[in-house]
């Protein structure tokens, strides 16, 4: 089966080359596609503990693992960290300067890319289930692990349709650390063995505050990581509920301040236009952009647009409450609640959190509500959130180093 799969991947790779070539001109894929499908980066000789983390979030979640592992290695061993996306690669370069960082080549390249290299262990993260890396690591006698493993409710039926394939793939994985009991059940139904419930690695992250701000006199609500989907905007939906909850009497004295932080920078102008139209129609002050007056000065205004990057943790640290987006419209899947919960804010999320279920299960006092109930929730007293679970990272480090 493995050889048939490899032949199929080679054919897919060959047939997709014209499309990949055209796609590689897009800035987002300019480097990653070249390194993954055309000219993989050669690996220096060495004995590697190989870790694969797909993108930005997975690379970031590996900090405690990689830092702990690196501190225990001698000069004869190296950490190879592969990633798939350009943002993940850039973050890996920044966070792990002493590791060998590379884009993961497509599976047709893997046997040649690893030729002559010693792989001590291969650790895959979350749902990065690649057959050829596992098979080649197995052939080289490497320990193979899957950590932070999860299968979302939404994707589980797709996995079941290809159970025959995953049953074979899991024969090449020796140990699995999964996020939750439901993930363990789903993995076992696909043929996985030797599974331990560990929790989500993002629980081990300690959010960093890089800039200290002074909170405004009134409570600050951060509306974080919002999206649009199918011509619906979470920012518009949330603002309408804020107006219903706090501004129905047209009195703005001593009321909270509201800072909107869209997930994607390319939407800043769209969000500014749409929200200002609503505020103007209600005779309320327009959005103050943080890029214009600076964050500290902007905090003194009722409505703020965070159109600068890398600031959310700094603002969570002084916020009264957080409304976490990516969760009020279907098919987005929610965002990480651990960062705001770390700062003991009041936390509200929508119900569409299928990608973050294990993390939300580890947060106490978070309110989950439909968008049409948000105004009511905002008008009632809320408790501060906190994180209820600690992780024993040493268990994973020990498994990675065992041969």
* Count of C-beta atoms within a 10 Å radius of residue 205: 17
Q: Please check whether residue 73 is in contact with residue 79, taking contact to mean a CB–CB distance below 8 angstroms.
A: yes
Q: What pLDDT is attached to residue 40?
A: 93
What number of CA atoms fall less than 13 Å from residue 65's CA on the CB side?
30
Contacts with 224 (C-beta within 8 Å, 6 or more apart), sequence order: 261, 312, 316, 322, 323, 324, 325, 335, 340
Domains of the chain, first to last: 2-198 (3.40.50.11720), 220-387 (3.40.50.2000)
The per-residue pLDDT string of the chain (403 residues; one tens digit each, 9 = 90 and over) reads 898 999 999 999 999 999 988 888 888 788 989 999 999 999 998 899 999 999 888 998 899 899 989 988 888 899 999 999 988 999 999 999 999 999 999 999 999 999 999 999 999 999 899 999 999 999 999 999 999 999 988 899 999 999 999 999 999 999 999 998 999 999 999 999 999 999 888 888 888 899 999 999 899 999 999 999 999 999 999 999 999 998 876 555 568 999 999 999 899 999 999 999 999 999 999 999 999 989 999 999 999 999 988 899 999 999 999 999 999 999 899 999 999 999 999 999 999 999 888 889 889 999 999 999 999 999 999 999 999 877 778 888 888 888 6
């Amino acid at each position: 089966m493995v050889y048939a799969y490899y032949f199929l991947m080679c054919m897919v790779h060959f047939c997709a080359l014209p499309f990949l070539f055209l796609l590689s001109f897009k800035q987002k894929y300019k480097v990653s596609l070249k390194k993954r499908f055309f000219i993989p980066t050669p690996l220096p000789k060495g004995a590697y503990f190989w870790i694969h983390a797909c993108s930005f979030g997975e690379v970031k979640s590996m900090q405690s693992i990689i830092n702990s592992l690196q501190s225990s290695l001698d000069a004869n061993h190296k950490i190879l960290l592969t990633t798939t996306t350009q943002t993940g690669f850039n973050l890996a370069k920044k966070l792990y300067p002493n590791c060998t960082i590379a884009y993961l080549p497509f599976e047709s390249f893997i046997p040649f890319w690893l030729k002559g290299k010693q792989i001590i262990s291969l650790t895959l993260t979350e749902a990065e289930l690649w057959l050829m890396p596992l098979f080649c690591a197995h052939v080289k006698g490497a320990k193979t692990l899957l950590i932070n493993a999860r299968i979302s409710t939404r994707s589980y039926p797709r996995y079941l349709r290809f159970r025959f394939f995953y049953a074979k793939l899991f024969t090449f994985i020796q140990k699995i650390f999964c996020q939750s009991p439901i993930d363990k059940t789903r993995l076992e139904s696909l043929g996985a063995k030797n599974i331990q419930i560990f929790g989500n690695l993002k629980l081990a992250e300690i959010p960093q505050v890089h800039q200290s701000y002074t909170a405004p006199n009134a409570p600050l609500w951060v509306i974080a990581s919002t999206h649009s989907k199918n011509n619906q905007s979470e920012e518009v939906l949330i603002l309408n509920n804020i107006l219903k909850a706090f501004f129905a009497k047209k009195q703005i004295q001593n009321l909270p301040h509201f800072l909107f932080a869209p997930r994607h920078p390319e939407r800043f102008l769209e969000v500014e236009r749409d929200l200002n139209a609503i505020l103007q129609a209600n005779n309320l002050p327009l959005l103050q952009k943080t890029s214009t007056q600076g964050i500290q000065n902007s905090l003194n205004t009722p409505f703020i647009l965070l159109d600068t990057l890398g600031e959310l943790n700094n603002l969570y640290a002084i916020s009264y409450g957080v409304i976490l987006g990516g969760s009020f419209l279907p098919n987005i899947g929610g965002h990480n609640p651990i960062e705001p919960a770390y700062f003991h804010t009041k936390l509200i999320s929508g119900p569409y959190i299928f990608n973050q279920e294990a993390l939300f299960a580890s947060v106490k006092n978070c309110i989950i509500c439909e968008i049409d109930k948000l105004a009511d929730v905002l008008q009632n007293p809320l408790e501060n959130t906190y994180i209820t679970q600690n992780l024993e990272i040493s268990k994973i480090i020990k498994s990675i180093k065992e041969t």
